[in-house]
């Protein structure tokens, strides 16, 4: 029963992936996030709605599973704190800020026109919110499986994403989009609480 925003988001992401499997490249062409300066010979282009729709598509089943696991782990807990409406606004705001950072990164680097897909921007925003609002709650990551306070886990994860993005490690992963989701989440929490963290 879909009785929370978190579960609706889980359902929407799973449905988006299922439609990808059925429709093939058609969904990627229209709903993935394409760079602003995609060459005309690609026969695709950036459309404004892509700053949200890309967040409901995924590269493969493992990409989907990882993101949905994180959404499930942190989502309902944060939804109880934010309330349904603000939680949805927060999540979509992080997806949006991740898209903006990714578009700017593609514009500056002039790299190949590769579409961005995945809920990771929203998920990284949730991760940041959890670390900010519950800094001393213990988290046991998959790797390394060592219990640590949420703020330490979030700080390490953010630093790793920055390192991977700057060095070009793990090519094909939108590291700056992940960081963009965290930045958007931080700005929203600051705006709502008026607190400096």
pLDDT by residue (tens digit) across 90-137?
A: 999 999 999 999 999 989 888 778 899 999 999 999 999 999 999 999
Least confidently predicted of 64-73, 94-103, 123-132, 139-148: 139-148
Q: Which of 65, 88, 115, 61 is nearest to 188 (CA)?
A: 88
pTM of the model: 0.91
Question: Domains (ranges, CATH) in the chain?
Answer: 5-193 (1.20.1540.10)
More confident residue, 24 or 135: 135
Q: Strand, helix or coil at 134?
A: coil
34 with 104: CB under 8 angstroms? no
Q: Strand, helix or coil at 194?
A: coil
Q: What is the DSSP letter of 190?
A: H
Residues paired with 149 in a beta bridge: 138
List, for residues 158-188, the tens digit of each pLDDT value: 998 888 888 877 767 888 999 999 999 999 9
Strands 138-139 and 148-149 come out as: antiparallel
87 with 165: CB under 8 angstroms? no
How many Cβ atoms are within 10 Å of 135's Cβ, its own excluded? 15
Q: Long-range contacts for 130-139 (Cβ within 8 Å, ≥24 apart)?
A: 130/74, 130/77, 130/78, 130/154, 131/155, 132/186, 132/189, 132/197, 133/78, 133/81, 133/189, 134/77
Structure tokens at 156: 């390490």
What CA–CA distance (Å, rounded) separates 87 from 94? 11
What are the residues whose beta carbons fall under 8 Å from the beta carbon of 8, sequence distance 6 or more?
A: 2
């Amino acid at each position: 029963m879909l009785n929370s925003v978190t579960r609706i988001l889980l359902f929407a992401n799973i449905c988006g992936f299922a439609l990808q499997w059925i429709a093939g490249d058609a969904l990627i062409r229209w709903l993935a996030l394409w760079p602003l300066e995609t060459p005309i010979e690609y026969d695709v282009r950036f459309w404004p709605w892509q700053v949200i729709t890309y967040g409901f598509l995924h590269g493969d089943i493992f990409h989907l599973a990882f993101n949905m696991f994180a959404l499930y782990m942190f989502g309902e807990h944060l939804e109880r704190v934010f309330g349904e409406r603000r939680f949805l606004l927060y999540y979509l705001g992080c997806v949006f800020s991740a898209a903006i950072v990714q578009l700017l990164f593609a514009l500056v680097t002039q790299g190949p026109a590769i579409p961005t897909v995945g809920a990771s921007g929203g998920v990284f925003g949730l991760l940041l919110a959890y670390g900010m609002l519950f800094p001393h709650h213990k988290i046991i990551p998959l790797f390394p499986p060592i219990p640590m306070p949420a703020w330490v886990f979030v700080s390490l994860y953010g630093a790793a994403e920055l390192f991977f993005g700057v060095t070009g490690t793990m090519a094909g992963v939108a590291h700056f989009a992940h960081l963009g989701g965290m930045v958007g989440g931080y700005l929203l929490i600051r705006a709502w609480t008026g607190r400096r963290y």
